[in-house]
Structure 1
Amino acid sequence: MEYKPAALVLEDGTVFNGRAIGKIGTTSGEIAFNTGMTGYQEVFTDPSYYNQILIMTTAHIGNYGIKNDEVESDSIKIAGLVTKKFSQMYSRVSADDSLQNYMDNDNVVGIADIDTRALVRHIRDKGAMNAIISSEELDVSVLKSKLKDVPSMDGLELASKVSTSSIYEVGNPDAKYKVALMDFGVKQNIIRCLVERDCYVKVYPQNTKLEEIKAFNPNGIMLSNGPGDPAVMHNEIQNVKEMTESGIPIFGICLGHQILALGQGLKTEKMHNGHRGINHPIMNLITGKSEITSQNHGFVVTKDSIADHSNITMTHVHLNDETVAGIKFNDRKIFSVQYHPEASAGPHDSRYLFDQFIDNMNS
């Protein structure tokens, strides 16, 4: 099989050469790495990765193909893919297609056959930065010029690019609980976890006002994950702040967690690299128990800002770097976490948080 060459150029001028995978073309965005060893299809379709070029640290990607129902959204959301070894063929009997065809159909550009260990070490040391991949233009000077026009993730609003444009409903209308879900880029497994717990879920666009939510008369409000810088989502922050004053129980995940915190006057900051993988250790400070979690975020709520708010308690901490992993309101049935309790793919250690949300709705 004849392969086409491709080039990866980082914002600091570092260049990697490899072979083209996926669609022939050019793509750009912030480069990040995921340490998960399985679940690449779920990762690629996670809306939180929108506008990011993703490095998979697992050496072999594509070898089990793809299945049409193993998705977290309606299409691949990553801006580009970087791998060491990429398999055009797949061995899983139940697979529907190859990853190559899947990427080609969704217009996703990628590069393989590069030293991803060296690349990840470089990014880990230098921090998050923009990058460009091309399999149609190999002149590095041209690619560096194009890269200058790529906006920084810091200050970039992206949730509106992946949020639903219209309201839709999932589950049994006669279910015990009614949940209004604010879609900032929701993973479908969040909805599945709610439906499994006898919830009827109504999914709203990210800028929906409280008045419209109240018309549904929900038992609880879910604030979903999503991409981009939460600090620039001023309308959403104000909307969520009003929701916290409504008396309705609220559960926030990732971007939803950050927006919830910003509405209370807490602060967020961009991380050096972020957390992306399915083996991140968390400590529940309330129970004293540890959890292995799935994570995907480049921004975090600052610990110092929590200390200035007596109404907010930090409930979970990341054991690798002691960053904030969860908070709760002391006087309301409201809590949120920085990681993914729905974990698809990943461990199920944190599924109890959905049960906690159900308990809050019961009370």
Structure 2
Amino acid sequence: MAQPAVLMLEDGRAFRGEAYGAPGTAFGEVVFNTSMTGYQEVLTDPSYAGQIVTMTYPLIGNYGVNAQDEESAHPQVAGFVMHEAPPVYSNWRAAESLDDYLRRSGVVAITGIDTRALTRHIRSLGSMRGAIARAGADPDALLEQIRAQPRMEGLELACGVSTDERYVVPAAGDARFRVLAYDFGVKSHSLQLLAQKGCEVTVLPAETPTDEILAAGADGLFISNGPGDPEAVGHALTAIRELAGQGTPVFGICLGHQLIARAFGADTYKLKYGHRGGNHPVRRLSDGAVEITAQNHGFAVRGDESGIPGAPELRVTHLNLNDGTVEGLEHRERPVFSVQYHPEAAPGPHDSRYLFDRFVDEMARRPAAGERDA
């Protein structure tokens, strides 16, 4: 029999439902995701570390869980919120139910709440700290615990989700390029796409010293997505500038986009409630095309179509059509570019996968090692 549970926010508002997943209490920043599918990719995206994720689509769990759709080794969310969890699941790849998966992984969840009301509340007042707890918890004590949790601003979470040891993802077929991937919470599908395009990818821990990166002599640097405040990840900026100065192609997504911007003098700031989901329209300034993109971020680069304050070497390449925020950048002279959204797009949409081709093309145009040393 389902046990009553509550989702409480730091402003004292409570949403009552039923316990789901693992027993216990979960604390984190409460955010919402507008994707209609891909809940397993959401759960295992390291960028969601420290966050309680609300799915706005009402039916979650209907196609179960499988091993192929994981973006990391295990769920990364702090908690999970749904309107309705179906009693059965059906899919030819499914290995277990969502409930069993969350229990096995230790993820506290809640179902049966009014996710529409919760989403409207967050959109009006902004993302805020919260907790999922059993309904019998003392509300005053729970609220005190929520307000004692750290805010996302200034929080360094990338090192907590990064790999502890470097590892290699071999190229599919002959290796044409050697790529270093700065792992701040990389999704496995990004590495797969690079490998499919002939890249042997060496994945580096987030705290890898700059001199090791420079000494590796790679053909390109990929800077991954990740959680937390980009302002707290200052140790990567020198490596970005140094490799860019050597003419090494650099490609960043999400947190990587923010770090590239900061490396060249830009500022970042926290959005009111962030962009999370698979249906965000982005305009490509070069030709006016609109890409439908997958996004997951709570911070953005300060700037607009006219430019990036403090970073004259960068130009804006993409803009969000919902709120005008900066979604893409490129260096005016160096082979360095980045986007705020997720072009690996697992499970979709796939409008932006051409960016991986651009990265490969930039590496192909770079002179061979012997020519660079001549």
TM-score range, shorter chain: over 0.9
List gaps (5 residues or longer) in structure 2: 366-374
Which residue in 1 is equivalent to 2:34?
A: 35
1:1-363 → structure 2 map (5 Å cutoff): 2-135=1-134, 137-172=136-171, 174-303=174-303, 306-363=308-365
User: 3-state SS of the aligned residue for 1:166?
Assistant: coil
Distance 1:215 1:307 in 2: 32
Deviation at 1:92, TM superposition (A): 1.4
Distance 1:241 1:106 in 2: 39
Deviation at 1:247, TM superposition (A): 1.9
For 1:224, give the aligned amino acid.
S
Q: Is the 8 A contact 2:213 2:239 kept in 1?
A: no
Calculate the TM-score normalised by the size of structure 2: 0.94
Q: Is the 8 A contact 2:261 2:311 kept in 1?
A: no
Q: Is the 8 A contact 1:26 1:136 kept in 2?
A: no
Give % identity. Answer: 47
Q: Is the 8 A contact 1:88 1:98 kept in 2?
A: no
Q: Is the 8 A contact 2:64 2:90 kept in 1?
A: yes
Distance 1:6 1:311 in 2: 51
Q: Is the 8 A contact 2:180 2:222 kept in 1?
A: yes
Deviation at 1:186, TM superposition (A): 0.1
For 1:26-58, what per-residue CA distance to the aligned partner results, in whole angstroms no more than 9, with x for missing partners? 001000000000010011100000110000001
Q: Is the 8 A contact 1:230 1:255 kept in 2?
A: yes
Q: Is the 8 A contact 1:25 1:136 kept in 2?
A: no
**Greater Cα offset, 90-99 or 69-78:** 90-99
Q: Is the 8 A contact 2:46 2:161 kept in 1?
A: yes
1:331/1:12 Cα in 2 relative to 1: closer, same or farther (>3 Å)?
Answer: same
For 1:128-164, what per-residue CA distance to the aligned partner results, in whole angstroms no more than 9, with x for missing partners? 1100111275221121111121100011000011000
Distance 2:136 2:73 in 1: 29
For 1:347, give the aligned amino acid.
P
For 1:315-351, what per-residue CA distance to the aligned partner results, in whole angstroms no more than 9, with x for missing partners? 0000110100000000100000000000001111000
List gaps (5 residues or longer) in structure 1: none
Deviation at 1:239, TM superposition (A): 3.1
Deviation at 1:215, TM superposition (A): 3.6
Deviation at 1:238, TM superposition (A): 3.0
Aligned residues: 362
For 2:315, give the aligned amino acid.
T
Distance 1:31 1:163 in 2: 22
Q: Is the 8 A contact 2:20 2:109 kept in 1?
A: yes
For 1:358, give the aligned amino acid.
V
**Greater Cα offset, 297-306 or 257-266:** 297-306
For 2:110, give the aligned amino acid.
I
Calculate the TM-score normalised by the size of structure 1: 0.97
Q: Is the 8 A contact 1:312 1:329 kept in 2?
A: yes
Distance 2:310 2:159 in 1: 31
For 1:23, give the aligned amino acid.
A
Q: Is the 8 A contact 1:26 1:137 kept in 2?
A: no
For 2:193, give the aligned amino acid.
C
Deviation at 1:307, TM superposition (A): 4.1
For 1:221-246, what per-residue CA distance to the aligned partner results, in whole angstroms no more than 9, with x for missing partners? 00000000001112123333333223
Which residue in 1 is equivalent to 2:371?
A: none
Distance 1:362 1:60 in 2: 45
**Greater Cα offset, 268-277 or 169-178:** 169-178
Q: Is the 8 A contact 2:264 2:313 kept in 1?
A: no
Deviation at 1:312, TM superposition (A): 0.8
User: 3-state SS of the aligned residue for 2:90?
Assistant: coil
For 2:285, give the aligned amino acid.
L
